[in-house]
Structure 1
Amino acid sequence: MKSKLLQVSWHEKQPIWSIDTSPCTGRLLTTGSNGIGRLWSLTIQHTLEYNLQWIADLKGHDGTVNVGRFNPKGNIFRNERGDVHDWIATGSDGGNIVLWEKVTEEESPVGNHKMETEETLERWRIQQVLRKHLQDVLDLQWSCCGRYLVSGSVDNKVIIWDMTHLNATRVMEGHHHFVQGIAVDPLGEYFASQSADRSLRIYQRTKNKSGSFYFPCKKSISKIENNDEKDVFLSQLSKGYLFLDDSHRCMFRRMDWSPDGSFLICPAAQSDIAMEGKDERGNNQQYAAVLFARGHWEAPVFQLLGYDKPAMVVKACPLVFDRTSRTENEMIQLPYNVIFAVATLDTVFLYDIYEPFPIGYVKGMHWQPITDLCWSKDGNYLLVCSIDGYVSVIYFESCELGTVVDISSLIAMHPTTQLVKTENNNEEQLSEITNTRYITQWVIPKPKRIKTK
């Protein structure tokens, strides 16, 4: 594992608030305080030599662009010709969400002097502006099928947008403070929102009497339910809130699902040590991250401890790896290994799901707080962006994380799983997997503390 700061003026040295990689093309998207989203082409060698090429600027917001995300399926729902391009959503101060589409050569305007004089590799235009939020949009996530977009805002609301009709289908009003993080289940059954009101809300896909889907809140988690008084771990957690309040420096609470949907990993948690007072060394390390097993929302399965600053961002590697020479864990029976990263204000910790401690960490890459993480499409490197206006890379050698495993073949072999094809004209299809019980059968929800140091 190697790391390097990419000394490029990404957004005129102004803060970078989000970074994302396209699952379709592998391109890079950054958004910043200069009110612009930028598209890049980035390749990195194992020697950490890199080739960065600017592709285009996405200009259309009036304020800071807090988040930008690629649609995982590209423009499949808006394109009848079959040629798939990237499709992008960006959210900014003021509450606007802008959808961006690439301008093809035959669509390029002949008389537009501004577009002709810009030396961009590609031309992008605003397809639609989604106006429903009343205040700043802090996070966005697409559904796995690419049809839906979920947004969270400073107005305390979560909105589900239908990309087929380009309108808001649901407005969720359960939080009492800023919604700082959104995570959509890769299997299409759940999505989650995390807020500065110290709560995590889980929404589950449900079919009503008319046969259409909606997402009621299945669970709101702020304190842990403890039905077993003998369980010391749960009794300690139940003394206080699980998540931090708004007095901590948490601009975002960007959580993430594991790529198979087995775990939801949440930052901005409060450790049980802090609830008791101090740890055995006399340090008040009150910060943590927690992992919930799919379908088991009563208490976290893991608690990652030892952070001296709040955990802000979680990002799971999009690939899964083999389990050879991995530590056995009685709580997990997944036939593969999941790798994920947790970023505090100044440190990035790397974990795999079977090890009790981080497999590595990098500290001091940036001079100001970290804001977002993203993995490359092939899982070879992790990109980190910061308020200081720079991006750094953590690079992994070949097979350093393990041998990549085709998760679809493992799922297909499981007797409770059925795979179906996603048809473009099937408006109700949200996931390629119709039965998700195989995940809950592979995870035993028994809580355990895991320290990072």
Structure 2
Amino acid sequence: MWIVKPEWIFHGDTRKLPILSIDIEPAGARFITGSMDHTIIIWKLSAINDEQEEEVQLSILTQHCGPVNCVRWSPSSQYFASGSDDGIVIIWEQVEAGLSDNLEEWRCILSLRGHSSDVKELSWNNSGTLLASGSVDNTVILWNIVSKQLAPARILNGHESYISGLAFDPMDRYLATVGEDKQLIIWSTNDWKQIKKISQNFNHASSQPLKRFSYTPDGLNLILPGPKKSAYKYTASVLKSDEYEIEKYLVGHLQAISVAAASKVLYKSDKNPVWIVALGGYDSAVSFWKNGDNEPVVIKDIFACSVADISWSNDGNMILACSSDGTVAAIGLDGELGTPLSQQEMNQYMFSLYGSRPPVPIGGPHSHSHHKRIEPQPLNEQKEERVQGGKRRIQPVLLSTPQSTGGGFPQSPQQLPQISSLQLPQASLISSPNFPQPQLRNPIIMTSPNAPPVPDFKDLQNFSIPFFASFSKVINKGTSKSYTDGICDMKMLEISQLISADADMVVECMEVKTHPQFKSIIRFREGNKTLWQRYLPHTANVLTGSDVFIAAITAEGFLYCFATGSGRQIMPELCIGAVDFFESNGAFLIVILKDGKVQCWNIKNQSIHLESNIKSIAGPIVKAVLKENGEVLIENQAGEGYIYDLELHAWARVKDPTFIQKPDERMSGWNPGSIEEVLNVDLQTFHDFSLTTMEMQLLRLKKLGYTEEYAYNLVRYAQMLADGKDMLRLWDICMELKRANQNLLASIMPILNANQLQFKGINC
């Protein structure tokens, strides 16, 4: 047996913050930690035993707004889940590469919002199709990960206090939950009904926020922390899984046991295979208990304070344990406690017990197990200079589009280099060798190795460019600023996004200084072959476009639009003035002028789509998005989000800044005030506050088109109305649904029936 405490595993910049959860990837390449500092870090597992290993930290993720209480890999290693004090469960998946500082790119693919308070515990079923989450709101929620459903698949209500532990049995027949109400509930996964509810003193005398437990790998026993037997003896209980009666106690820890983690495999013995469980306690000790042995193996004083979590490797030869002291310990068994069964032997033994093999995990880890981030590739030497304040001014480099199928580039411009100007090698545009070469500026580049052939002239009538996804946007200093992902501090030329395309297509804007009539050229080319080029009498410095059109804004305030396929000018020069924001998507083009005027055109139909002004929205605009259907969303500096309602011709608020949870400040969606203010209101006022917030949220979800979230919250709203005996509003919403959506009406009918409510003319 060996013990290692790597100094390179820690959270926090200046001090080691508590590590609340740890989990080893089933595939065996990585492990993850979640901490009090709101971050998740992915580490290289092989570095535990290799002191020469470099680049041990693969990725650091910071999307949570509260302490990360639990991190758990899916059985297939394709995803991992995290739960936090912000009440959100996030599902993460690896993408191929990116421009962040992380060695591996992991993206949030699902942000699951259903709990009203802290998420304390997570557990995957063994097939990886369902994720269970337990919360301080006393509920357990089941999430369907395969269908990527955002609304809860099932909500289990049975505990009277917060959930402190969750575990699926190895055959996915049962889900066991433990709450601070001293109740153990066994749920059937067939119909999610309670099949057993046991009231026993699992609670220790000390304050204990978590009691992590697990089934043994054969499913015959359940190992739980507690109860306390005497002043100096703390135990874990071994329950038989047939009747869930206590079979024996594991006695020895001097303080409360916080986690009981059984190995994922069984071990060979003279008779039936046996299990091994690792216990961690508040006495900073870790103990190993082998079924059938009388004495445990105990490692004392391994940490400075309590053990927070324990994770086993899939081969059963190593555990990782984390502590509230901010450190991690690795313990290798090297067969000293027994020889693990092979996977084939495990399957045969489980078949002998249950007549079937354990569920097979769905999915699998991506083949790109470890990639460095994609770096911009310069075509010429990058130059730097220091400006006032110590900031760097960097001469630009060209970025090529990655050959990625895993999500492309990240959206944040802070991850991209700041660029002040661009010089490219001279290239001839006209065959005459004496023609002066133009200076290229503001390129938009999209590349791919599989470019289709340039069509012959006879095929131009059928020519289209379906291989264009969209163009990236280039912003020039002093002309406009990017709202798409935030504003660059120095407001210099910035390439905010590059999107993968299926062709090596380039759109360039070039300055002409040798002709008195023309000042710039727009050129569209495939590789080195020019498809079309157009001369402009003004100085173009901002480009955007899509498969429908390419648009340019000039320094003089003119807008030019050209057909992407042919280069034909499809709109007259529009004098629009100084532009603050410029974006395209599909057939739509939007500009936000410096005076606050907003105009969006349908270039394909040659018509105005919307015309408004953002002066009515308080505060500076820091984010704007143009969707492919022409919807416009903006966000101001205060965190308020708006969408333009084409029917009402007004900006509808769809995001409230109070819903943003800051790391150091917990906010309530309906009341951002102090706790004292909440406690001093009567129940009716509290009910009215909650209903007001729910009604606003329903309207926002409906406006944003979030159908699943809208349906889920509509049922919650109807239940609140029924609980409060608010018959007038309940009848009103039923009448509206009768006219608009019979399916949604059917979803709240069980609430009416359960409360014995009948409205005339309402039936489904």
TM-score, length-scaled by structure 1: 0.73
Equivalent residue of 1:409, what SS?
helix
Taking the aligned partners of 1:138 and 1:424, their CA distance within structure 2 comes to 25
* From 383, 390, 394, the counterpart of 2:331: 394
* From 312, 319, 327, the counterpart of 2:265: 319
- Within a 5 Å distance, the mapping from 1:18-417 to structure 2 comes to 18-43=21-46, 51=53, 53-74=56-77, 86-105=78-97, 108=98, 116=99, 118-163=100-145, 164-166=147-149, 167-206=151-190, 214-223=191-200, 242-244=201-203, 248-271=206-229, 274=230, 284-297=231-244, 299-324=245-270, 335-345=272-282, 346-358=284-296, 360-397=297-334, 399-405=335-341, 406-412=345-351, 414=352, 417=355
Taking the aligned partners of 2:140 and 2:353, their CA distance within structure 1 comes to 36
**Number of residue pairs the alignment of both structures matches:** 353
Equivalent residue of 1:269, what SS?
strand
Which is richer in strand? 1
Q: Quick one: higher RCO (CA 8 Å, sep 6+), 1 or 2? A: 1
> What's the CA shift string for 1:63-110, capped at 9, x where partnerless?
111111111023xxxxxxxxxxx30110000211011111224xx5xx
Equivalent residue of 1:72, what SS?
coil
Taking the aligned partners of 1:380 and 1:321, their CA distance within structure 2 comes to 11
Regions of 4+ moved over 6 Å: none
Taking the aligned partners of 1:423 and 1:183, their CA distance within structure 2 comes to 16
Whether the 8 Å contact between 2:40 and 2:62 is mirrored in structure 1 is yes
Equivalent residue of 1:253, what SS?
coil
Taking the aligned partners of 2:224 and 2:52, their CA distance within structure 1 comes to 32
TM-score, length-scaled by structure 2: 0.44
Residue number in structure 2 paired with 1:327? none
Letter in 2 for 1:129: S
Residue number in structure 2 paired with 1:448? none
Residue number in structure 2 paired with 1:77? none
Q: Give the % identical residues.
A: 29
Whether the 8 Å contact between 1:250 and 1:268 is mirrored in structure 2 is no
Deviation, structure 1 residue 2: 2.6
Deviation, structure 1 residue 289: 0.7
> What's the CA shift string for 1:345-391, capped at 9, x where partnerless?
11111011111221x11111111211000112322221110111110
Residue number in structure 2 paired with 1:3? 3
Taking the aligned partners of 1:422 and 1:311, their CA distance within structure 2 comes to 32
Taking the aligned partners of 1:349 and 1:147, their CA distance within structure 2 comes to 32
> What's the CA shift string for 1:176-208, capped at 9, x where partnerless?
1111111111110011111111111111223xx
Whether the 8 Å contact between 1:91 and 1:98 is mirrored in structure 2 is yes
Deviation, structure 1 residue 26: 3.5
RMSD: 2.2
Equivalent residue of 1:138, what SS?
strand
Taking the aligned partners of 1:16 and 1:253, their CA distance within structure 2 comes to 16
Which is richer in helix? 2
Taking the aligned partners of 1:144 and 1:45, their CA distance within structure 2 comes to 27
Structure 1 stretches lacking a partner, 5+ long: 75-85, 109-115, 207-213, 224-241, 275-283, 325-333, 426-453
* From 10, 13, 18, the counterpart of 1:15: 18
Taking the aligned partners of 1:367 and 1:337, their CA distance within structure 2 comes to 32
Taking the aligned partners of 1:45 and 1:9, their CA distance within structure 2 comes to 10
Which has the larger Rg?
2
> What's the CA shift string for 1:229-264, capped at 9, x where partnerless?
xxxxxxxxxxxxx2115x513121000111121211
Whether the 8 Å contact between 2:237 and 2:250 is mirrored in structure 1 is yes
Taking the aligned partners of 2:63 and 2:133, their CA distance within structure 1 comes to 18
Whether the 8 Å contact between 1:96 and 1:133 is mirrored in structure 2 is yes
